[in-house]
Amino acid sequence: MDHFLYRDGNLFAEDVPLAEIAAEVGTPFYCYSAATLLRHFRLFEEALAGLPHLVCFAVKSNSNQAVLRLLGQAGAGMDVVSGGEYARAKAAGVPGDRIVFSGVGKTRAEMRAALEGGIRQFNVESEPEMEALSEVAVSLGVTAPIAVRVNPDVDAKTHAKIATGKSENKFGIPISRAAAVYARAAALPGLEVVGIDVHIGSQLTDLEPFRQAYRKVAELTGTLRAQGHDIRRLDLGGGLGIPYARSNEAPPLPLDYGAMIREELGHLDCEIEIEPGRLISGNAGIMVSGVIYVKAGEDRSFLILDAAMNDLVRPSMYDAHHDIVPLVEPAPAADQARYDVVGPVCETGDTFARGRDLPPCAPGDLVAFRSAGAYGAVMSSEYNTRPLIPEVLVQGGDWAVIRPRPGLDEIIARDRVPGWLSAASG
């Protein structure tokens, strides 16, 4: 459920007509619904009610500070994967003791910043990383709380580019080596083992791979406790999928996921952490774009939009489907036209959808890409010198630009032409 619905024939974000925002900020732009973000966060809270837990929003899915502030104020923790995300979470007012730091390549500088600013735990992914963290913590005279990310060798049955829990993936330490790695962690100064971490992939539409992974974590908890480690937190990662094509997808709900967690891990007397990103932010955002031209091809029509792959890369990168809907509600039995929906970027990969049925469109019409709140704005680039598009947050009848569209002058002014080039051409 989200809060992007037609009212009186026009698509609204909560109580605001999207056409009104488009008229003020221009297209394309991202728009997020605060009510949807909060609703999805609370679904996880309800799913884990009764278990000690912390829901850590995966900042990588949508890192706008307004979004982080909203979720942080509602009690969310944050899962960050870089010094930049850590700084954003802190700037948004999230206390360090609610921030977990994941990622295979944390630098010493990032470790230092997090230790100085306060951190709940590092999810450590290798022995070299563990040694580096030990050194940094000792040099600062502090103790770093750690969970070790284990790779359970489970097939998440999702797109290969976003599956992370198989032994051939770069993530975590092989679960078979966990005992040795935990023994090493316990022996290193400046580290305190607090738990186990696992994350097997993203956009999972079946609970079974999660269940297999969590079962292995439960077993490992017993083994490690028997070896004297104080395993008191289990970080179960993110990854629960969302319906992208509304008509025919029904992934498991947070409540089912929570029930499964309770079944597999509820008896272990551990604090549960989860790191959902997409399920909280995905359907809480849309991207609105305008039609520039409708072009007749040899055997098809191209709908050429003002948004492109640099603004929303998921279709090009993962062949992802996003529902596309007009801002003006089509009549129930309205005609349909079939389009290849494309952007202005100069490569064929800049295609959002092939053979998509939409009401007949004309230049100036507006469309919305649904499910664009996760891995949308955060993955955008300025390819083709296209300015990053604005982000807007709606809450009830209020709306605000939460990242403005930069001017071309700002973008051009960022480059520096070295003096010798000026001299040569002068």
Residue of 86, 101, 352, 375 interacting with ligand LLP (CB under 6 A): 375
Q: Which residues pair with 173 in a beta bridge?
A: 150
Cα–Cα separations (whole angstroms), residue 148 to 55, 199, 412: 18, 11, 44
Is residue 102 close enough to count as binding ligand LLP by CB under 6 A?
A: yes
Counting residues that bind ligand LLP (by CB under 6 A) gives: 21
**Residue whose token pair is 């040694």:** 131
**Of residues 3, 106, 314, 322, which one binds ligand LLP by CB under 6 A?**
314
Pick from 28, 239, 315, 326 the residue near ligand LLP by CB under 6 A: 239
Interaction of residue 202 with ligand LLP, rule CB under 6 A: yes
Q: Is 235 a residue that touches ligand LLP (CB under 6 A)?
A: no
Which one is catalytic: 56, 270, 346, 361?
A: 346
**Nearest CB to ligand LLP, comparing residues 58 and 94:** 58
Asked if 273 touches ligand LLP (CB under 6 A), the answer is: no
H or E segment to which residue 259 belongs: helix 254-265
Q: How many other C-beta atoms can be found within 10 angstroms of the C-beta atom of residue 181? A: 19
Does 276 interact with ligand LLP (rule: CB under 6 A)?
yes
Residues in the chain: 426
Give CA 274 to chain center in angstroms: 13
- Restricting to residues 334-373, name those near ligand LLP by CB under 6 A: none
Q: Is 3 in the site for ligand LLP (CB under 6 A)?
A: no
Question: Is 199 among the residues that bind ligand LLP (CB under 6 A)?
Answer: yes
Does 270 participate in catalysis according to the annotation? no
Least distance (Å) from ligand LLP to the CB of residue 66? Answer: 19
Residues near 313 by Cβ (< 8 Å), separated by ≥ 6? 379, 380, 381
Q: Cβ-count burial of 202 within 10 angstroms (0-12 exposed, 13-18 middle, 19+ buried)?
A: buried
Contact with ligand LLP (CB under 6 A): which of 19, 113, 162, 186? 162
CA separation for the pair 124, 201 (Å, rounded): 17
Q: How is the beta sheet containing 4-7 ordered, strand by strand?
A: 4-7, 10-13, 16-17
Its sign, for the CA torsion 203, 322, 37, 93, is positive
The token duo for 395 is 């809450």
Q: Is 347 annotated as a binding residue?
A: yes
Structure tokens at 242: 């969302």
Q: List the x/- string, 38-77, binding to ligand LLP by CB under 6 A.
A: --------------------x-xx----------------
Choose among 1, 2, 40: nearest CA to 18.
2
Q: Which residues are annotated as a binding site for pyridoxal 5'-phosphate?
A: 239, 275-278, 375
Q: Which residues are annotated as a binding site?
A: 239, 275-278, 314, 318, 347, 375
The catalytic residue positions are: 346
Q: Residues in the site for ligand LLP, rule: CB under 6 A?
A: 58, 60-61, 79, 102, 162, 199, 202-203, 237-239, 275-279, 314, 318, 374-375
